[in-house]
Amino acid sequence: MRFSQVLRPKQPGNARATAVAGAVLVVVFVAGATRWPWSPKRGLGLFFGFLATALFIFEMAYPFRRPKARPLRTAKAWAQAHVYLGTLALLAVLIHAGFRLPKGGLGWALLLLSLWTTASGLIGVWLQKWIPAALAEGLQVEALYERIPGLVDQLVAEADALMAGAHEVGERFYRTEVRPSLSRPNPSWGFLLDVRASRDRALEPFRRVAEFVDPAQKALIDDLMSIYTEKIELDAHYSLQGILRRWLVLHVPTAGLLMGLLAVHIFAWAWY
């Protein structure tokens, strides 16, 4: 169910308009390539190069947007334009090259950076839709990323106080199997795909040890499991919110490098 929700466009009209615009660009390319020899240096090939450049420049303006900034005026509209026009920019790059592989090093660098920047942007869109849905669907604890280490310290103190009166089996279980992972945030990529499965696997040792303690201590183990469950959910938040933050490192620097090489490419074309 979550897969279908994530893949569904927030604004279907924008997705349809982008598909139509992309189809028009391809039709123009086919019509031009069948009538004239295709060259990135002149005619329609050059036009698509300028189109890709203009779209990339617009893409780079996204971080400098302001509330109610013209012409889009809302953050949602700016985000939609950033995603869909970025996709059209990559298509314009491919048409500019005539859907042929580049020959020089600069051409390969521009193509690969264009592909990576667009792909990492689309991955970011998926993450921004998938992760909030995963957190809301699978977890009961809510926490801000910056506060999680402090909340973990509070859980450790609570667990230490709880287990101070435990018998040997429970005390050894806590000291050797629980406290080492309880004492610090433990991020994991596994939370990205299935939050609840990761939690259930981590709680399995508690169910096993409950069979070997006397009934008076079983309630203590149950309370410890509740603390550890909260810790696992904090780990899930720490992991997934951290992925959202680190994703920008994969997207933004390469976009800046792409624009720098694009400036070199335009200068070389104008000079020679």
Tell which wins on pLDDT, 195 or 97. 97
72 burial level (CB within 10 Å; 0-12, 13-18, 19+)? middle
Chain-wide mean pLDDT for the chain?
88
Distance of CA 76 to the CA centre of its chain: 17
Distance CA 112, CA 158 (A): 51
- Domain segments of the chain: what residues? 2-139+245-271, 145-244
Phi-psi region of 194 (alpha: psi -120 to 50; beta: other; left: phi over 0): beta
Say whether pLDDT at 1 is over 60.
no
Residue 131 has pLDDT above 70, yes or no: yes
Q: Which one is predicted more confidently, 271 or 262?
A: 262
Q: What tens digit of pLDDT does each residue of 225-255 get?
A: 999 999 999 999 999 999 998 999 999 999 9
Report residue 113's pLDDT band, with 50, 70 and 90 as the boundaries.
very high
- Asked if residue 178 lies in contact with residue 210, where contact means CB atoms within 8 angstroms, the answer is no
Cβ-count burial of 100 within 10 angstroms (0-12 exposed, 13-18 middle, 19+ buried)?
Answer: exposed
pLDDT of res. 257: 95
> Confidence band (pLDDT; 50, 70, 90) for 164?
confident
What pLDDT is attached to residue 5?
A: 65
User: Where residue 69 falls among pLDDT bands split at 50, 70, 90?
Assistant: low
Q: Is the pLDDT of residue 157 over 60?
A: yes
What's the confidence (pLDDT) of residue 192? Answer: 85
> For position 159, what pLDDT does the model report?
93
**What is the model's pLDDT at position 259?**
94
Give the tens place of pLDDT for each residue, 200-218. Answer: 788 888 888 877 777 777 8
4 pLDDT band (50/70/90 cuts)? low
In whole angstroms, give the CA distance from residue 95 to residue 25: 8
The structure's pTM equals: 0.82
Average pLDDT on 46-62 reads 93
Query: 2 pLDDT exceeds 70?
Result: no
For residue 76, pLDDT beyond 70: yes
- Calculate what percentage of the chain has a pLDDT beyond 90: 56
User: How far is residue 49's CA from residue 40's CA, in Å, rounded to a whole number?
Assistant: 7
216 vs 46 pLDDT, higher one: 46
Residue 66's pLDDT band (boundaries 50, 70, 90)? Answer: low
